[in-house]
A and B are shown apart, each in its own frame.
Chain A
């Protein structure tokens, strides 16, 4: 345990705290901003953020309050103690039903499942060497040891993206980060891990005679995944060329819509959000354990899992924000909710044991091939301005920047207009492919088909 954390623990001892958590995140980031392959700016980020959460028992322990704040690394002992006293006082006003912090004893029962590939120190709180590059587990991605290696791979990858006169990269931003997280609580939990957490933002242009359009991509990943990144950007250029040929969205009224790109993640989040302990405990989710979704009417009976590790996910972390071990767990099995998962507070309110906040998810359960989902007339929506699914209401909507209208034997690129539906109805006839595809921390069906989606055409007029 480093000196700063030990010092903070000593200072907390001078307050009226009944329990505490400390989370320290050290970031080493290299950033490169390009305009058409010319370097606009380079940046280096070196920070340490230490957040302390103080807990106070209220009314003889029937209630538990907490308050949190960052203690700047530049804070003097006097300033740190002032903040900690303030947190202790504030916590006494936060009157929540009692719950407990993670205890090492709870993890003993899970030890057989504790095969996280990240380094986990013992309950004694001894210092443990952090693991390297956990984000690259199980994938074909090179396990880089330093932020400079990750940045170098990004730069090299972007230089080699195949471009042409009619489609190229307008600009891109590389964010290569290696983070070290150290979590300690007053029950003796003491965990450290290091992981890569990177991001690339790219703007792709496509052009024809006198006209240019752009498409936007933001890709999160552990370290640089050359193969998938290249595929994503090459595909974006193809969509760009097709958007130049696209016709205004016709008046289609209602039509099946096929989701084959990362926007499909939003549909999956409807299920993961509704299976979160906080959503359930606050009364926002009407999903019930053991009760089939949508009254049992489901064309594809979805299975939703929390997954400890996915290849090169930026969320491959051995423990969550409260120190709980992450593991594989089923949330929904074949259309029937099995368990909610979430933080300590709301999990406690629901009576959940061994709960945790997942980092990665898998949604499966499809029985269809992609060819089967492509039968009949349908709209394949591949680019939205901002596709959204509201987990509370189930409403989904988005303005279309590019879709392929499959009608008869023709495929017509179309643009403009919008789609809307509610998953509470559309979920009943939703069809999923067997084949899955991964987008950072979510592995989801390669294609999702929703029936009877309302489409607003560009030329739709009323009176």
Chain B
């Protein structure tokens, strides 16, 4: 079925256009993004359950972007009466005039930027989905999640709980300027189970997730993750600490995705180039990884939670080859940063929601597959670890450091897994060294869209990342 575009947005669109027309009399450029995204998050544990009609991306509101005298300004609001479009335009003008007065009295000078291009375009996309979050049977869903949680607890007596979250969002977005009218709707869902175990004087939690540009029917795939997640948390309970040092490692696809995200995801967000905050700007055309490293980024290069048709600035989605056989080819860019850098936007201008500013943000960030099998990769290692279980990561685009907090490392000795586990694992390194050390890449590839990504420590958006198994050298602690 098609994910239907919001009736509410369809109804208010003419009034919003009337408001924008009024603003165009004063401003050199006017764009409007209006959103109406609904969804839910259901949570089940052994001790409590909840349903909230809220996810990371549910929202209803409008943001107007205007340009005057080289300065871009925005006004975000969520109260709009279609019968009072002119009054809303006047409120926007007055609010921004008040801010201008403050800036003038404070002696603030603008970072002057030209008007964004406004090429004519029309788009109406209702993407396919199996079902809608609005039509979910919550009685059945909670029973299903409860039975999965119960199954996890029964599998291992050390497991004291297995919280599960399942969320689904039906996104509708309307973007228009004088010459553009873009409308899209799609549904994405994600779920995760997190067994909590106690034993050996310790408490641990593991994690397994599923995601996709699908409706709540996705949740049927969750049960298959139970045994993996329960075994993983049991492994963590009996794990040793890793002896700090540099090792040959194999990264599982979710760790590979974390490296992609932290290394040359954030590293080539080109709004950071404008501020001189990314080393990547000086390395375009230069080697940053081994010949085996090819990496793509874009809403079009995979189908997952952030595979949209256009971004929050009305740029159509793309597929950027960031690294081609080890050579850094280019980055991703929002429209304003592109205007300032004299390049083209790539469809990566994203907002946390209508209340937030646009930044250059990732969508799907993935390593290409290679020629090896996981078995061959393990057999090639004399002493090292197979790394699994992503916890978190942190970027450092200015200095190309990378920090990945991981849950487990499985020891490899003389080409075989020994059964010894280390946990937790803090993997750090210098990005070109890490990518340069990649010596084997597996044929398979997986993409993960659970969780969110911040810019610094704020501005949370949905992203997906992944890739194949990689063999490389990394510092573990």
A residues adjacent to B (C-beta < 8 A) = 29-35, 37-49, 51, 65-70, 72-74, 83, 87, 89-91, 93-96, 148, 151-152, 155-156, 159, 170-171, 199, 201, 203, 205, 212-214, 216, 218, 253, 281-284, 286, 345-346, 349, 385-386, 388, 390, 392-395, 397-399, 401, 416-420, 424, 454-458, 460-463
B78-A48 in contact (CB<8A): yes
B183 at the interface (CB under 8 A from A): no
> Given the complex of chains A and B, what is the CA–CA distance between A281 and B161 in angstroms?
11
A152-B244 in contact (CB<8A): no
B51-A94 in contact (CB<8A): yes
Residue A386 contacts which of B49, B403, B458 (CB distance < 8 angstroms)?
B403
B10 at the interface (CB under 8 A from A): no
Q: How far is the CB of B340 from chain A (nearest CB, A)?
A: 9
B80 at the interface (CB under 8 A from A): yes
B75-A460 in contact (CB<8A): no
Q: Which residues from chain A contact B77 at a C-beta distance below 8 Å?
A: 45-47
Q: Which residues from chain B contact A345 at a C-beta distance below 8 Å?
A: 48
Residue A74 contacts which of B79, B96, B428 (CB distance < 8 angstroms)?
B79
> Given the complex of chains A and B, what is the CA–CA distance between A96 and B77 in angstroms?
36
> Given the complex of chains A and B, what is the CA–CA distance between A112 and B187 in angstroms?
52
Q: List 20 A-B contacts (CB under 8 A).
A: A41-B357, A48-B79, A69-B53, A74-B80, A90-B51, A95-B49, A151-B102, A155-B102, A159-B106, A214-B277, A218-B456, A253-B244, A283-B47, A385-B396, A386-B392, A392-B204, A393-B205, A399-B401, A417-B428, A417-B477
Q: Which residues from chain A contact B60 at a C-beta distance below 8 Å?
A: 70, 72, 74
Q: How far is the CB of B216 from chain A (nearest CB, A)?
A: 13
B401-A385 in contact (CB<8A): yes
B1-29: contact bitstring with A at CB < 8 Å (1 yes, 0 no)? 00000001000100000000000000000
Interface of A, secondary structure class, is strand
> Given the complex of chains A and B, what is the CA–CA distance between A392 and B194 in angstroms?
12
B331 at the interface (CB under 8 A from A): no
> Given the complex of chains A and B, what is the CA–CA distance between A168 and B3 in angstroms?
49
Q: Contacts A69-B40, A70-B60, A418-B403 given; 17 further ones with Cβ under 8 A?
A: A32-B99, A37-B109, A47-B355, A69-B53, A96-B50, A151-B102, A253-B244, A284-B203, A349-B47, A385-B394, A385-B403, A386-B392, A393-B424, A395-B424, A420-B426, A460-B245, A460-B246
B476-A456 in contact (CB<8A): yes
Q: Which residues from chain B contact A398 at a C-beta distance below 8 Å?
A: 403, 426
B244-A455 in contact (CB<8A): yes
> Given the complex of chains A and B, what is the CA–CA distance between A166 and B476 in angstroms?
34
> Given the complex of chains A and B, what is the CA–CA distance between A51 and B58 in angstroms?
13
A203-B78 in contact (CB<8A): no
B424-A397 in contact (CB<8A): yes
A39-B53 in contact given A45-B76, A74-B8, A397-B477 (Cβ < 8 Å)? no
> Given the complex of chains A and B, what is the CA–CA distance between A199 and B72 in angstroms?
21
A38-B47 in contact (CB<8A): no
B73-A392 in contact (CB<8A): no
Nearest A residue to B78 by beta-carbon distance?
Answer: A47
Q: How far is the CB of A376 from chain B (nearest CB, A)?
A: 21
Nearest A residue to B72 by beta-carbon distance?
Answer: A41
Q: Which 6 A-B pairs have the closest CB atoms?
A: A69-B53, A456-B477, A456-B244, A386-B394, A399-B403, A38-B111
Q: How far is the CB of B381 from chain A (nearest CB, A)?
A: 11
Q: Which residues from chain A contact B402 at a C-beta distance below 8 Å?
A: 399
Nearest B residue to A65 by beta-carbon distance?
Answer: B49
A94-B49 in contact (CB<8A): yes
> Given the complex of chains A and B, what is the CA–CA distance between A109 and B57 in angstroms?
41
B457-A218 in contact (CB<8A): yes
Q: How far is the CB of A83 from chain B (nearest CB, A)?
A: 7
Task: Give the one of A38, A456, A461 with max B CB within 10 A.
Answer: A456
A399-B357 in contact (CB<8A): no
A42-B71 in contact given A155-B102, A395-B424, A462-B243 (Cβ < 8 Å)? yes
B74-A44 in contact (CB<8A): yes
A397-B48 in contact (CB<8A): no
B426-A397 in contact (CB<8A): yes
A392-B275 in contact (CB<8A): no
Q: Which residues from chain A contact B54 at a C-beta distance below 8 Å?
A: 51, 68-70
B103-A39 in contact (CB<8A): yes
Nearest B residue to A460 by beta-carbon distance?
Answer: B245
B45 at the interface (CB under 8 A from A): yes
Q: Which residues from chain B contact A199 at a C-beta distance below 8 Å?
A: 458
- Could you tell me how many residues of chain B have their Cβ less than 8 Å away from some Cβ of chain A? 88
A44-B47 in contact given A419-B477, A420-B477 (Cβ < 8 Å)? no
B95-118: contact bitstring with A at CB < 8 Å (1 yes, 0 no)? 110111011011111110000000
B286 at the interface (CB under 8 A from A): no
A38-B109 in contact (CB<8A): yes
A94-B243 in contact (CB<8A): no
B71-A49 in contact (CB<8A): no
A213-B398 in contact (CB<8A): yes
> Given the complex of chains A and B, what is the CA–CA distance between A167 and B5 in angstroms?
50
Q: Which residues from chain B contact A394 at a C-beta distance below 8 Å?
A: 203
B202 at the interface (CB under 8 A from A): yes
Within 8 A of A (CB), among B384-421: 391-394, 396, 398-399, 401-403, 405
Residue A39 contacts which of B40, B111, B241, B475 (CB distance < 8 angstroms)?
B111
Residue A393 contacts which of B46, B74, B203, B393 (CB distance < 8 angstroms)?
B203
B246-A213 in contact (CB<8A): no
Q: How far is the CB of A418 from chain B (nearest CB, A)?
A: 4
Q: How far is the CB of B4 from chain A (nearest CB, A)?
A: 15
Q: How far is the CB of B22 from chain A (nearest CB, A)?
A: 17
A155-B73 in contact (CB<8A): no
A457-B109 in contact (CB<8A): no
B451 at the interface (CB under 8 A from A): no
Q: Which residues from chain A contact B203 at a C-beta distance below 8 Å?
A: 284, 286, 392-394
> Given the complex of chains A and B, what is the CA–CA distance between A41 and B76 in angstroms?
13
Q: Which residues from chain B contact A74 at a C-beta distance below 8 Å?
A: 8, 12, 60, 78-80
B204-A393 in contact (CB<8A): yes
Q: Which residues from chain B contact A205 at a C-beta distance below 8 Å?
A: 276
Q: Which residues from chain A contact B95 at a C-beta distance below 8 Å?
A: 44, 46
A35-B51 in contact (CB<8A): no
Q: Which residues from chain B contact A393 at a C-beta distance below 8 Å?
A: 202-205, 424
Q: Which residues from chain B contact A37 at a C-beta distance below 8 Å?
A: 108-109
Within 8 A of A (CB), among B33-74: 40, 45-54, 58, 60-61, 71-74
> Given the complex of chains A and B, what is the CA–CA distance between A65 and B42 in angstroms?
13
Q: How far is the CB of A347 from chain B (nearest CB, A)?
A: 12
B429-459: contact bitstring with A at CB < 8 Å (1 yes, 0 no)? 0000000000000000000000000001110
> Given the complex of chains A and B, what is the CA–CA distance between A455 and B426 in angstroms?
11
B341 at the interface (CB under 8 A from A): no
> Given the complex of chains A and B, what is the CA–CA distance between A399 and B75 in angstroms?
39
> Given the complex of chains A and B, what is the CA–CA distance between A214 and B355 in angstroms?
28
B283 at the interface (CB under 8 A from A): no
> Given the complex of chains A and B, what is the CA–CA distance between A152 and B99 in angstroms?
10
A35-B79 in contact (CB<8A): no
Q: Which residues from chain A contact B76 at a C-beta distance below 8 Å?
A: 43-47
Task: Give the one of B77, B142, B355, B403 with max A CB within 10 A.
Answer: B403
A420-B357 in contact given A74-B8, A283-B47 (Cβ < 8 Å)? no
Q: Which residues from chain B contact A390 at a C-beta distance below 8 Å?
A: 424
Within 8 A of A (CB), among B256-282: 274-277
> Given the complex of chains A and B, what is the CA–CA distance between A32 and B74 in angstroms?
10
